[in-house]
Structure 1
Amino acid sequence: MESDEEWVVLCPDNPADSSDDDRGVLALPASCFSSTSSEDEDEDGGGGDDDDVDDDEEIGGGEDEEDPYGVDEDDDQPRRPPPRPISGMFHHTPSGSPAYFAFDPLRTAKQLIPDPAFAVLPEPATVLASSCGLVCLRGDATGFYYVANPVTFQRVRLPYPTRDHARDAAPAAVIAFDSDSPSLDAFHHDAFRFSHYHVVVAYQVADGVCAFETFSSRTWDWRVAGDVCAPETVVAASGVGALGRAFWRTTIGHILCFDPCSGSADLIPAPEEVESRPLWEIGEMEGSFCVTCMDEGVTEVAALYMVPDPRGGEPAWVWAGQFDGENMLRQHEEMQLLRSQGAAEVVMWDPREELVIAMDFDGKATRTIGPLHGAKYGKYHTDFIPYVNSRTEIYNSDDVGSVFKTNDEAVTFRVPQPSVEAY
């Protein structure tokens, strides 16, 4: 049934992040997935949390501000909307349960999700990764991997992997979309389109050596890559999917890159800019893989995009933007960089103020989460996983796989024969 508004009843045991007056029941209008101006939705949005940010940090939100997702009807050819900004952050509570913090967007109500703890899954699970609106989780009891879209309530249990990914520790997992997939169109335009994806897992096979096993939505099976890599230790919580590849930070200071289509792994030197700005993080911006970095005094914050070499050589790094941290962040000297995703924003965490801040390349804070202290938010871990909502489909028109319906009935569809193709 199509309607301009959809009402979703939240589970009282797992409410999404919200103010006291919107617990229990939440209206999620269809326009929630593309920002539109609304004076009636300011109660829990950008206009209501201005006090969370210093006065010298300009928060967007005027009524006359141009809609970033709008299309000028006077143009002969409509322009492509910009990538969506981060909607919020998944994290885990001290009990291990997933939870979700929503950003305060420019003008609309917080973009909450109805089941932030993924209670509809058949077992408790841990959130591992997110990309283009899809979330990868792993069952705490069984070790099964799940892929879910928390906006559309779609979720699928993947076949059991063929290798041991160390069930007693969080694996280094990434969701990477095929480079020729329509996922980016779905990400930009919010289209109901299936997008082929890979779940890439890097796991340790010897001291300082890791191997890779990947699941493909095209073949519906896991494959072990023939390539291995010696990155010392992969930083599992740093995983990023971009350009059809999976990326992680490593303890040797290089970036581990794995291509799930070719099965090849490589260690990429970090850009030279991090030598003078040693505090850095990886992420995805506008579909590109990026590195954000700053110096220890937080006097300058910079972002660079990676440009792969089509001939297979070392990639190039191009300047994406920078801002003066000494002036813009003078009251947030303990800032830490977080992973970015979606729009061109630098995402940072202020542990002293318990505040997550998204900033543009002019150094202006555009949206915030928090402060996170107090009964409103409860206890939390800072294992923040960026999430951008979309309606990206997670299975194709042939109904491949085992899909868990909203009513929790498990329906098994036709599963293709395992692929015999090797890397």
Structure 2
Amino acid sequence: MDFSSDDEWIVLDAKNPADSSDDDRGVLALGSPTCSDYELDLDLSSDDSDDDDSVTSRRAAVPDDDDYMSSDPYELECDDDADPYAAQPLTRPLSGMFHHTPWDSVAYAAFDPLRAANSAAKRLIPDPAFAVFPETVTVLASTRGLVCLRGNTSGLYYVANPATFRRVRLPPHTRDHRLDAEPAVVITFEQPPHASSAGFHHYSVVVAFQVHDGVWAVESFSSRTWDWTVGSDICAPETVIASSGVGALGRAFWRTTIGHILCVTPETGTVDLIPAPHEVDARPDWEIGEMEGNFAVACADNARKEVAALYLVAGEAGATQWQWAGQFDGEKAGCHPGMTLLRSQGAAEVVVWDSVADLVIALDFDGRQTRSIGPLNGGNYYTDFIPYIGTDTEIYSEEVGAMFITVDAVTYRIPQSSVKEEQF
């Protein structure tokens, strides 16, 4: 790829040795959050009262370091008396973005260091193109440091932590997820009290796939059972926008072309269509995301004069409600019509793609630019940005009752035996 500034980008050589299990000096990994999210037990009921215009979305991803963990400026203090319906802030801002190139390869770009961070060093990942995999892959989703990928040849799914250089191939799914089309995939973590000990938290890989024109079903993989389950619900959202997927509150969310938000609860297999907040009527450029543990919607008017963010909250009798989270003057923040909202993750930030300056920019609720990626140039990239937060979250645990082994660069789950777990 052609970058105009070496200072703005971190992309490691795709030929980085993959078999160096004990010499990962270039890896700087973040620790796990010190406090988990509170459970938000929403009964999300369907409501087809408001249809909104669809908006295309993008993607993003990156990791961090041991010295940084020792004095973490984002460390949380857990409050036992906190409101159980208020999500607990995550400890990390976005690290960077994954995206793809015209050559069907994966690329990664790191944000400039956050101004408040103690360390100015940029955090790297050892194999940003995932060249170690036994086949070429496409990045589909990323949540809290874990990345879901699909093999371009086999159609099988992988879960990896690029910061710790570990990955596992999931068992074959039972339904046709349309290998010739981009599946709608989200990684989402279980909410407490089911969270595991530090380093490993049970997660689901949720896939929404089309079974008929405009009709979609769901199949979910659980790290707890290490198996796939087909949901009993179907829905008719016209089209699920695959590149808008967000994992938050133990659920998977996507925008749809009917203007509603598809919500899937993997533990129960239930599917709901949530109307977007009324604020998007006057601010038609909108995108979903996760901010401080909350499921969020960011929206802007056509001129980008006003940018706002709202959080999904529990209402009475299972109704969905939106709570105003923040707003800022887009003109004062330097926003213009050439900017498009991207998915957010981690900190309370609005993330935008500036197609004029070829920059990805993160802004806080005061409209101040905190970090940026770019500028990109040369046209050798796609703007399918997938947000990524670097952590040392594990991708599997012996608690699931099995062992894992790596053979010919493929990590498998096998029955409990004397076979020793290996890294890839």
TM range (shorter): 0.7 to 0.9
Q: Which residue of 2 aligns with 1:386?
A: 387
Q: Partner letter of residue 222 of structure 1? A: W
Q: Which residue of 2 aligns with 1:396?
A: 397
* Alpha-carbon distance in 1 for matches of 2:309, 2:316: 22
Deviation at 1:192, TM superposition (A): 4.4
What does 1:24-423 correspond to in 2, within 5 Å?
27-29=26-28, 68-69=73-74, 83-106=91-114, 108-180=120-192, 192-309=198-315, 311=317, 313-330=318-335, 332-374=336-378, 379-398=380-399, 403=404, 405=406, 408=409, 410=411, 412-414=413-415
Aligned CA distance change for structure 1 residues 276 and 148 (closer, same or farther; 3 Å) = same
Instruction: Give SS of 1:214's match.
Output: strand
Q: Partner letter of residue 390 of structure 2? A: N
* Alpha-carbon distance in 1 for matches of 2:25, 2:355: 30
Deviation at 1:69, TM superposition (A): 2.9
Q: Deviations over 1:302-322 (max 9, x none)?
A: 0000013474x2211111111
- Cα pair 1:124 1:141 within 8 Å, conserved: yes
Deviation at 1:398, TM superposition (A): 4.0
Deviation at 1:109, TM superposition (A): 1.9
Q: Deviations over 1:155-182 (max 9, x none)?
A: 1111100000000111001001112267
Q: State percent identity of aligned pairs.
A: 60
- Cα pair 2:169 2:411 within 8 Å, conserved: no
* Alpha-carbon distance in 1 for matches of 2:219, 2:255: 18
Instruction: Give SS of 1:328's match.
Output: coil
Q: Partner letter of residue 264 of structure 2? A: F
Q: Deviations over 1:211-265 (max 9, x none)?
A: 0111111111111111000000000000000000000000000000011111111
* Alpha-carbon distance in 2 for matches of 1:305, 1:323: 16
* Alpha-carbon distance in 1 for matches of 2:405, 2:325: 41
Deviation at 1:410, TM superposition (A): 4.2
- Cα pair 2:139 2:147 within 8 Å, conserved: yes
RMSD: 2.8
- Cα pair 1:200 1:212 within 8 Å, conserved: yes
What TM-score, normalized to structure 1?
A: 0.76
Instruction: Give SS of 1:273's match.
Output: helix
Structure 1 residues without counterparts, runs of 5 or longer = 1-9, 16-24, 35-65, 73-79, 417-423
Aligned CA distance change for structure 1 residues 290 and 367 (closer, same or farther; 3 Å) = same
Q: Which residue of 1 aligns with 2:56?
A: none
Q: Partner letter of residue 179 of structure 1? A: Q
- Cα pair 1:283 1:339 within 8 Å, conserved: yes
Q: Partner letter of residue 160 of structure 1? A: P
Q: Deviations over 1:392-414 (max 9, x none)?
A: 11112246567465993646532
Q: Larger relative CO (CA 8 A, sep 6+): 1 or 2?
A: 2
* Alpha-carbon distance in 2 for matches of 1:401, 1:95: 37
* Alpha-carbon distance in 1 for matches of 2:316, 2:271: 16
* Alpha-carbon distance in 2 for matches of 1:411, 1:235: 31
Q: Which residue of 1 aligns with 2:57?
A: none
Instruction: Give SS of 2:398's match.
Output: coil
* Alpha-carbon distance in 1 for matches of 2:199, 2:150: 25
Q: Partner letter of residue 360 of structure 1? A: D
* Alpha-carbon distance in 2 for matches of 1:335, 1:11: 28
Deviation at 1:282, TM superposition (A): 0.2
- Cα pair 2:169 2:412 within 8 Å, conserved: no
